[in-house]
Amino acid sequence: MLDITYPPVIVTAKMLFKLMRQRVVVSGSESIPRKGGALLAINHTGYIDFIYAGAGAEPQKRLVRFMIKKEMMDKPGVGHLLRSFHHIRVDRGSGLQSMKDALAYLKAGEVVGIYPEATISRSFEIKELKSGAARIAADAGVPLIPVIVWGAHRLMTKDHEKDFSRSPKTIVVKVGEPLHPTGEDIAAETAELRAAMQRMLDEVIAEYPDAEKEPGSWWTPARFGGSAPTPEKADEMDKAELRERAARRAARAAEKKAGK
């Protein structure tokens, strides 16, 4: 693929990280192949995880094609930029096309980034995973590589104000050992992926700089002494949000019908 905008934007992003006093720490990047397709399964704690997840592949000189929801891909301005990076448009109402696109990219030797939790985790723990990641990797015959991004949610996530201040922040990108799904037991292979991601997340949180571990911080899981919602509470919040969205859609449909 011809990448005109992607490389210079990466250089610009690195400069911004330094200006914002962010320390991006990458480990395990050797798990990403220098050539050939690979599917990165990334945890999802905030709106800009993908900006940092790409740093996990940079030491191997690979560009990641992320699967991004159509609402972002279709936005004026930012959407044009994302499309120029050859990211994959995901329509949650009909995900078949995005899976086909991801499969084509992988077979063409690209590195693709997927969020198997599908939505942001309000608890900042690993949610239950969709089976798509294991299915796509098995169908493409490529390694499925777990990736944990930790700290990016401190800048921009659900239910909290944005924080792009210059207060020092560490962003950790940990790349795990490749998994090799065969498709023979997708449920078991998805469970294996989740277990790997959970183990890696625990390691990253435990190793996070002590100077930034504020007691009771909102961005730390309750299990680690933070004030983030428990997974159970987060699930309730997610369901309430879905009900509100459905109610708004129904109200808009009723208004449209009444206006005819």
214-226 tens-digit pLDDT: 899 999 999 999 9
Rounded-to-integer distance, Cα 238 and Cα 260, Å: 34
pTM of the model: 0.94
Q: Which of 144, 75, 152, 134 is nearest to 111 (CA)?
A: 144
Rounded-to-integer distance, Cα 29 and Cα 167, Å: 27
In the numeric block, the tokens 């990466």 are attached to: 10
Report the half-sphere exposure of 245 (CA within 13 A, side-chain side).
Answer: 6
Taken in order of first residue, the domains within the chain and their CATH numbers are 5-229 (3.40.1130)
For the record, the structure tokens of 189 come out as: 């292979």
Rounded-to-integer distance, Cα 209 and Cα 22, Å: 13
Residue 260 has pLDDT above 70, yes or no: no
* 131 CA to centre of own chain: 15
pLDDT in tens, 182-222: 999 999 999 999 999 999 999 999 999 999 998 999 999 99
Contacts 24+ apart (CB under 8 A), 187-195: 187/131, 189/134, 189/138, 189/144, 190/116, 190/129, 190/130, 190/131, 190/133, 190/134, 193/41, 193/116, 193/129, 193/133, 193/134, 193/144, 193/146, 194/116, 194/126, 194/128, 194/129
For the record, the structure tokens of 250 come out as: 């129904």
pLDDT category, 1, cuts 50, 70, 90?
A: confident
Q: Are 123 and 229 in contact (CB under 8 A)?
A: yes
For the record, the structure tokens of 157 come out as: 């996530």
pLDDT in tens, 14-45: 999 999 999 999 999 999 999 999 999 999 99
Residue 93 has pLDDT above 80, yes or no: no
The reported pLDDT for the residue numbered 247 is 95
DSSP state letter for 130: P
The reported pLDDT for the residue numbered 230 is 97
